[in-house]
C-alpha cells in the first residue's frame, strides 16, 4: 500500500490501532491485584517475622546479656556468652576444614579430571546429591560416626565443627568450581604456552584469578553453617552451659541451640531472651553477608 | 604417533644440539604427580562422606529390620516407638503423612506467593525496585529456620491463629508450622524462579509485544513456559527444603505422630522425630536408637528420589537459547 | 646447502632455497630497506612429515609435509576451518590440552621428534613460544606479565633486566617503562598484543608461533606488529597463521596455502596443504589452480 492509500484509509477509520478489549483489560487488572497482593503479603509476612523477634528481643540486649552465661533459673541473669563463643569456634573449625578440602576438590574436578571417565562423573553427581540432603541427616552422620561409632569423639566442639563442615562441603565445592570456571581458558593457554606446568598455571594464575569468588562463596557457606540448628541438636550440643568451651574436646553450645532451648521455656522472660539471641545471630550473619558482598564488589575479577 | 625421528636438514649449528627436550624424572614432575594425587584424594572425600552417610544409615536399618517386620514398618499406622511393651508400635506412615501434610501446607503458601512475586520482579517491577528487592530476597532465603520457628510458636499461634482469626488450635499445630514453613521456603522459590524468568532473552518478549500482546499474556504465555525448567527446579528445591525442615516443626508442630487430617492438631514429621529422639539419652544399639536411622534412611531416600526427578524434569524442559 | 629430497608432487611443493633466488625475490618485491636477506643458507628447524591431526575419529588436517626455516617468516593461509590453527598448535604441543586430539606423523625439531615418548611438552614450550589471536595478558602488572615466563621456567638473571630486554625487543619499552607496575588490562588492544609478544620472548625461545595475531586489532596496531615481526626474524624464526592474504604477502618469506575438503559422507571438514612455496612465487605464479583462486579472491 502506498503512503497515500494508508493515509486515506486512516482518515476513514475512527481508530487505526484497536484498543484492547474490555475483558482483556479486566483480566490484566485482576491479575495485577492478585500479584501485588501476593507480593505485599509475602513482604509483610517476612518483615513481620523479623520484626517480631526484633521487638521482643531489643529490650533484652545489653552488654551483660552478651557477656553472661546462661542460667536455667533466673532470666535476668542469663546471657549468651557461651553461645556466641561456641558459634565463633564452630565457624573457625568449619572454615579450617571445609575451605581447603572444598577448593582442592573443585580444582581437581575443574583442572585435572577427565570428564569422560565414569568415576569423575560419579563424583560430580555425588556432590549434587549431597547438596540436597537434609541437614538433619548430616546430624545423624555426625552422631553415628563422629560422636559415637568409629571416631567416638563425644558430643564435643570438634565433632560439631566436623559435622558442619561436611554439611557445607558440597556448597563450597560448587561455589569454588564456578569461580574457577570463570577464569577464561585463554589465561591457562597463555601460561602453558610459556612453559608453565599444570600446577604452576593453577597456583599462579587460576587460583589467584578466582580467589574473590571463592572467598565470597565460602563466607556465604559458613554463614549458612552457623545458622543451622538441626545437626547440632542431633549430635548433642549442650543446652545452657555455664562455661565457654575450653578446647576441641569440650562440650559446647551455639546461638541456634540456645535460642531453641529458650524459645520453648514456659517463662516468658526466657522467650524474650531467645529473641535477643536471635538479634545477635542475625547481626553476625548480616555482618558476614556484608563482608562477602564487599569482597565480591571490591576484588571480583572482570575478564 | 611418530614414525621415528628423521634427520632434519639441519647442520646442527647454533641452537640445535644444545636443546634437551626430554622429560627427565625431575623433582618437578614428581611434585606434579603428587599434587594430582592429593587433589584426587580431596575429591574422594566427598565420595567417602556419601558412603559414610549411607553406611551408617543402612547398618542400623538392617539391625532394625531384624526386630521389626518391614511390612509393619512401611504400612503400619501407629508410630509409638518410645512407648513400652504392648504400646510400642513402629508403623512409619504417620510420620510420612506428617511430612507430606506439612509440606503441602507449606507449598500451598509458598508456590502461589513465590511465583507471583517472581513474575512481578521479572516482568513488572521497575529496575530500581528489582535492584533493591532481589538482594533482599536472597538474604531472606538465608535467614536461619530457628527464627521462623520462634515466630511460629510465640506469635503466629497465639496472636494470629488464635487471636486474630480466632481459630481454636492446639498449642502445637500443623497449621502454624506448615504456614510458617511456607514463608521459609517462599524466598527460595521466588529467587530461583525469578532467575529463570530473567534468563529468558528479551527478544522473545519483544516479539510478542510487537504483535500487540499485553504484559500479562507475555508473562504467562511466553516467559513462564520458556522458563519452565528453572521454575520446576525452584519448586522442587522448595519442596526439598520443606521436607527436610526440622526446627519449625520441632518447636511449633508438636510431637504427635498422627494420621489425622486436622491441621489444628499437632503433627510430627520424619525430620522432627529424628531430632527429638536423638536429644534424649538413648543407649547405642537399642531399638529406639535404631529408629533414628531407619527414619533417617527413609527421609534420605525420599529426598534423593525428589532430587532425581528434579534433575530429570529440568533437563527435559530446558530451553537452550541460541 | 642442505636440501631435502622431494618427490615430484604437484600438490605439495616444498620450498628449496638458494641465495641467488632469495635476492632476486627480495629485489622483485621491493621490500623495505630494513629487511636483510639471511646471511647463511636457510636452515630448516622444523621438518614436518606426513602429519595428520585427529579430534577423536574426525581428521581435522591431513598429509602435511613441509619444512620451516630458521630466521624466516612462514605464513599459513587459507579459508576458515582449513586446519591452519590446528596445525600450528602441533608445533608446540598445545594440542595436548585437548583430550581427544591425536597427532600422527613426525614433527622433527632440531633433530628431535617432538612427539617421541620421552619428550616433555613443558620443555618444548620453553623453546617454542606462542602468541594467540586474542591478546590474553594476565590480570597482573605489565612487569609481572613479562616476569611470569622466566620465573616458571627457572631462568637465572636479574629479573628487571630480563623484563626490560623483552619489552625492548617487542618495541614496547618506551611506552610502558614508567608504568611497569600498572595492570596490563589497562592497555589498548594493540599494546596488549605487543605485551603478549614480549611475554613470549622473555623466555628466550627459538621459535615464535603466532596464531592470527592481528585479527583482533585495528590497522595501525596491525602495521606496528608487522614491522615488529620483520625485525624479530633476525633473531627468531616465526610461523604465522593469518587469514589476511595481504599480510602474508607483506611479511612472510614462505607461504603455505591450506584448503578445506568436505567429506560428503561423513560431513567432516578436513584441511590439507595445497601448495607451499616462497611467498612471491605463491602469490604471483601459483602452481595450483586452487591457490590461484584463493589469492585472487575468487573464493575464501
Report pLDDT digits (tens) over C8-45: 444 334 344 454 555 554 444 433 222 233 334 578 89
Put simply, the answer to whether B10 touches C44 (Cβ < 8 Å) is yes
Same-domain pairing of B106 and B247? yes
Same-domain pairing of B136 and B39? no
Record the cell numbers describing residue A21, joined without a space.
478489549
Same-domain pairing of B139 and B257? yes
| C89 touches A: beta carbon within 8 Å | no
Quote the pLDDT of residue B8.
Answer: 33
Range of the structural domain that residue B57 is part of: 8-67
Quote the pLDDT of residue C6.
Answer: 38
Q: Is B281 part of a structural domain of the chain?
A: yes
| A30 touches B: beta carbon within 8 Å | no
| A189 touches C: beta carbon within 8 Å | yes
Put simply, the answer to whether C111 touches B1 (Cβ < 8 Å) is no
Q: Is B246 part of a structural domain of the chain?
A: yes
Q: Is B175 part of a structural domain of the chain?
A: yes
Per the listing, cell 616476569 goes with C147
Average pLDDT over every residue of C257-286: 87
Q: Is B1 part of a structural domain of the chain?
A: no
Residue B27 has pLDDT above 80, yes or no: no
Q: Is B3 part of a structural domain of the chain?
A: no
Q: Is B313 part of a structural domain of the chain?
A: yes
Same-domain pairing of B294 and B164? yes
Q: How confident is the model at residue B321 (pLDDT cuts 50, 70, 90)?
A: low
Task: State how far residue C194 is from chain A, nearest Cα, in angstroms.
Answer: 14
Task: State how far residue C5 is from chain B, nearest Cα, in angstroms.
Answer: 10
Q: Which of A39, A101, A260 sits opposite B42 (nearest CB)?
A: A101
Same-domain pairing of B173 and B248? yes
Could you tell me how many CB contacts below 8 A there are between chain A and chain B?
233
**Of the candidates A171, A182, A280, which has an alpha carbon nearest to the alpha carbon of residue A220?**
A171
User: Where is pLDDT greater, at C300 or B257?
Assistant: B257
Report the neighbours of C using a cutoff of 3 or more CB pairs below 8 angstroms. A, B
Q: What percent of chain A has pLDDT over 90?
A: 66
Quote the pLDDT of residue B15.
Answer: 39
Residue B264 has pLDDT above 90, yes or no: no
Q: How many domains does chain B have?
A: 2
Mean confidence (pLDDT) of chain A: 90
pTM, two decimal places: 0.86
Residue C232 has pLDDT above 70, yes or no: yes
Region A63-299: CATH code: 1.10.3720.10
Quote the pLDDT of residue A85.
Answer: 94
Q: Is B73 part of a structural domain of the chain?
A: no
pLDDT tens-digit series, residues B234-249:
999 999 999 999 999 9
Q: Is B24 part of a structural domain of the chain?
A: yes
Put simply, the answer to whether A193 touches C196 (Cβ < 8 Å) is no
pLDDT tens-digit series, residues A176-185:
999 999 999 9
Tell which B residues from 156 to 195 touch A, by Cβ distance under 8 Å: 180, 183, 186-187, 190
Name the pairing type of β-strands C207-211 and C237-241: parallel
Alpha-carbon gap, residue A53 to A58, rounded angstroms = 8
Residue A301: its chain C contacts at CB < 8 A?
A: 139
Q: What order do you get walking across the sheet with C268-278 strand by strand?
A: C112-113, C101-109, C44-55, C58-69, C268-278, C254-263, C73-77, C237-241, C207-211, C128-131
Same-domain pairing of B152 and B238? yes
As for the ipTM of the complex, it is 0.89
Put simply, the answer to whether B23 touches C45 (Cβ < 8 Å) is no
Task: State how far residue A203 is from chain C, nearest Cα, in angstroms.
Answer: 11
Same-domain pairing of B56 and B94? no
- Rounded to 5 degrees, φ, ψ at A156 are -115, 175
Residue A49 has pLDDT above 50, yes or no: yes
Q: Which residues contact A58 (CB under 8 A, 6 or more apart)?
A: A276, A279
**Chain B, nearest residue to C120 by Cα:** B23
Per the listing, cell 596445525 goes with C87
Q: How confident is the model at residue C297 (pLDDT cuts 50, 70, 90)?
A: confident
Residue C230 has pLDDT above 80, yes or no: yes
Give C46's strand partners: C68, C109
Going from N- to C-terminal start, the domains of chain A cover 23-60, 63-299
pLDDT tens-digit series, residues B173-230:
899 999 999 999 999 999 999 999 998 999 988 988 888 888 888 888 889 888 988 8
Quote the pLDDT of residue A17.
Answer: 64
We report the CATH number of the domain holding residue B114 as 1.10.3720.10
Quote the pLDDT of residue B271.
Answer: 95
pLDDT tens-digit series, residues A116-174:
788 888 888 899 889 999 999 999 999 988 988 888 888 899 999 999 999 999 999 99
Mean confidence (pLDDT) of chain B: 86
Amino acid at each position: 500500500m502506498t503512503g497515500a492509500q494508508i493515509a486515506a484509509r486512516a482518515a476513514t477509520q475512527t481508530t487505526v490501532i484497536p484498543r484492547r478489549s474490555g475483558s482483556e483489560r479486566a483480566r490484566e487488572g485482576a491479575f495485577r491485584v492478585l500479584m501485588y497482593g501476593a507480593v505485599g503479603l509475602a513482604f509483610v509476612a517476612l518483615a513481620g517475622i523479623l520484626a517480631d523477634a526484633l521487638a521482643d528481643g531489643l529490650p533484652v540486649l545489653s552488654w551483660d546479656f552478651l557477656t553472661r552465661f546462661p542460667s536455667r533459673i533466673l532470666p535476668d541473669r542469663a546471657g549468651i556468652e557461651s553461645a556466641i563463643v561456641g558459634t565463633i569456634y564452630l565457624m573457625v573449625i568449619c572454615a579450617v576444614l571445609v575451605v581447603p578440602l572444598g577448593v582442592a576438590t573443585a580444582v581437581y574436578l575443574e583442572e585435572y579430571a577427565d570428564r569422560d571417565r565414569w568415576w569423575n562423573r560419579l563424583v560430580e553427581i555425588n556432590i549434587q546429591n549431597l547438596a540436597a540432603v537434609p541437614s538433619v541427616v548430616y546430624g545423624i552422620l555426625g552422631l553415628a560416626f563422629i560422636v559415637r561409632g568409629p571416631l567416638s569423639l563425644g558430643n564435643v566442639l570438634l565433632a560439631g565443627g566436623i559435622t558442619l563442615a561436611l554439611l557445607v562441603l558440597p556448597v563450597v565445592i560448587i561455589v569454588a568450581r564456578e569461580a574457577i570456571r570463570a577464569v577464561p581458558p585463554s589465561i591457562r593457554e597463555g601460561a602453558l604456552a610459556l612453559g608453565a606446568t599444570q600446577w604452576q598455571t593453577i597456583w599462579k594464575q587460576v587460583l589467584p584469578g578466582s580467589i574473590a569468588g571463592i572467598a565470597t562463596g565460602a563466607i556465604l557457606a559458613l554463614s549458612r553453617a552457623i545458622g543451622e540448628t538441626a545437626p547440632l541438636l542431633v549430635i548433642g550440643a549442650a543446652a545452657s552451659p555455664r562455661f565457654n568451651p575450653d578446647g576441641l574436646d569440650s562440650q559446647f553450645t551455639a546461638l541456634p541451640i540456645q535460642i531453641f532451648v529458650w524459645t520453648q521455656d514456659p517463662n516468658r522472660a526466657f522467650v524474650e531472651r531467645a529473641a535477643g539471641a536471635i538479634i545477635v545471630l542475625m547481626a553476625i550473619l548480616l555482618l558476614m553477608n556484608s563482608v562477602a558482598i564487599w569482597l565480591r564488589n571490591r576484588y571480583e575479577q572482570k575478564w | 604417533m611418530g614414525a621415528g625421528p628423521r634427520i632434519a636438514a639441519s647442520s646442527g649449528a647454533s641452537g640445535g644440539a644444545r636443546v634437551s627436550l626430554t622429560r627427565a624424572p625431575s623433582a618437578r614432575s614428581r611434585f606434579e604427580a603428587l599434587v594430582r594425587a592429593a587433589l584426587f584424594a580431596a575429591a574422594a572425600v566427598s565420595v567417602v562422606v556419601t558412603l559414610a552417610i549411607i553406611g551408617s544409615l543402612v547398618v542400623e536399618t538392617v539391625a532394625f529390620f531384624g526386630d521389626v517386620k518391614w511390612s509393619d514398618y512401611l504400612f503400619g499406622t501407629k508410630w509409638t516407638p518410645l512407648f513400652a511393651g504392648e504400646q510400642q508400635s513402629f508403623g512409619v506412615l504417620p510420620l510420612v503423612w506428617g511430612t507430606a501434610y506439612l509440606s503441602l501446607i507449606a507449598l500451598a503458601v509458598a508456590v502461589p506467593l513465590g511465583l507471583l512475586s517472581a513474575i512481578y520482579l521479572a516482568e513488572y517491577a521497575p529496575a530500581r525496585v528489582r535492584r533493591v528487592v532481589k538482594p533482599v530476597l536472597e538474604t531472606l532465603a538465608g535467614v536461619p529456620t530457628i527464627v521462623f520457628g520462634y515466630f511460629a510458636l510465640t506469635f503466629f499461634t497465639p496472636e494470629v491463629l488464635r487471636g486474630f482469626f480466632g481459630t481454636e488450635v492446639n498449642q502445637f499445630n500443623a497449621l502454624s508450622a506448615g504456614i510458617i514453613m511456607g514463608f521459609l521456603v517462599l524466598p527460595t522459590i521466588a529467587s530461583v524462579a525469578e532467575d529463570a524468568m530473567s534468563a529468558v532473552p528479551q527478544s522473545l518478549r519483544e516479539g510478542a509485544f510487537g504483535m500487540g500482546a499485553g504484559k500479562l499474556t507475555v508473562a504467562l504465555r511466553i516467559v513462564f513456559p520458556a522458563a519452565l525448567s528453572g521454575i520446576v527446579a525452584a519448586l522442587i528445591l522448595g519442596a526439598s527444603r520443606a521436607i527436610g525442615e526440622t526446627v519449625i516443626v520441632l518447636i511449633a508442630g508438636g510431637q504427635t505422630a498422627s494420621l489425622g487430617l486436622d491441621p489444628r492438631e499437632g503433627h510430627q514429621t520424619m525430620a522432627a522425630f529424628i531430632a527429638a529422639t536423638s536429644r534424649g539419652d538413648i543407649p547405642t544399639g537399642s531399638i529406639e536408637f535404631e529408629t533414628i536411622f531407619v527414619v533417617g534412611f527413609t527421609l534420605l531416600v525420599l529426598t534423593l528420589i525428589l532430587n532425581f526427578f528434579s534433575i530429570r524434569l529440568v533437563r527435559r524442559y530446558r530451553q537452550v537459547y541460541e | 646447502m642442505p636440501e631435502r629430497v622431494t618427490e615430484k608432487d604437484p600438490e605439495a611443493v616444498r620450498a628449496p632455497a638458494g641465495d641467488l633466488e632469495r635476492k632476486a625475490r627480495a629485489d622483485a618485491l621491493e621490500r623495505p630497506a630494513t629487511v636483510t636477506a639471511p646471511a647463511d643458507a636457510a636452515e630448516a628447524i622444523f621438518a614436518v612429515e606426513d602429519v595428520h591431526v585427529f579430534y577423536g575419529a574426525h581428521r581435522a588436517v591431513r598429509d602435511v609435509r613441509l619444512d620451516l626455516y630458521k630466521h624466516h617468516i612462514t605464513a599459513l593461509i587459507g579459508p576458515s576451518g582449513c586446519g591452519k590453527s590446528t596445525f600450528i598448535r602441533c608445533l608446540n604441543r598445545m594440542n595436548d590440552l585437548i583430550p581427544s586430539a591425536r597427532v600422527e606423523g613426525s614433527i622433527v625439531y632440531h633433530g628431535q621428534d617432538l612427539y617421541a615418548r620421552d619428550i616433555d611438552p613443558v620443555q618444548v614450550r620453553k623453546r617454542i613460544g606462542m602468541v594467540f589471536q586474542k591478546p590474553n595478558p594476565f590480570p597482573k602488572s605489565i612487569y609481572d606479565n613479562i616476569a611470569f615466563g622466566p620465573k616458571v621456567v627457572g631462568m637465572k638473571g636479574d629479573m628487571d633486566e630480563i623484563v626490560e630486554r623483552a619489552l625492548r625487543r617487542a618495541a614496547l619499552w618506551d611506552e610502558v617503562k614508567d608504568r611497569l607496575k600498572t595492570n596490563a588490562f589497562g592497555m589498548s588492544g594493540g599494546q596488549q598484543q605487543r605485551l603478549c609478544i614480549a611475554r613470549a620472548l622473555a623466555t628466550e625461545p627459538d621459535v615464535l608461533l603466532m596464531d592470527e595475531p592481528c585479527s583482533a586489532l585495528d590497522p595501525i596496531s596491525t602495521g606496528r606488529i608487522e614491522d615488529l615481526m620483520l625485525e624479530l626474524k633476525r633473531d627468531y624464526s616465526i610461523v604465522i597463521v593469518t587469514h589476511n592474504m595481504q599480510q602474508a604477502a607483506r611479511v612472510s618469506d614462505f607461504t603455505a596455502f591450506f584448503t578445506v575438503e568436505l567429506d560428503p559422507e561423513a560431513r567432516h571438514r578436513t584441511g590439507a596443504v595445497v601448495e607451499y612455496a616462497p611467498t612471491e612465487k605463491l602469490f604471483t605464479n601459483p602452481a595450483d589452480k586452487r591457490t590461484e583462486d584463493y589469492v585472487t579472491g575468487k573464493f575464501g
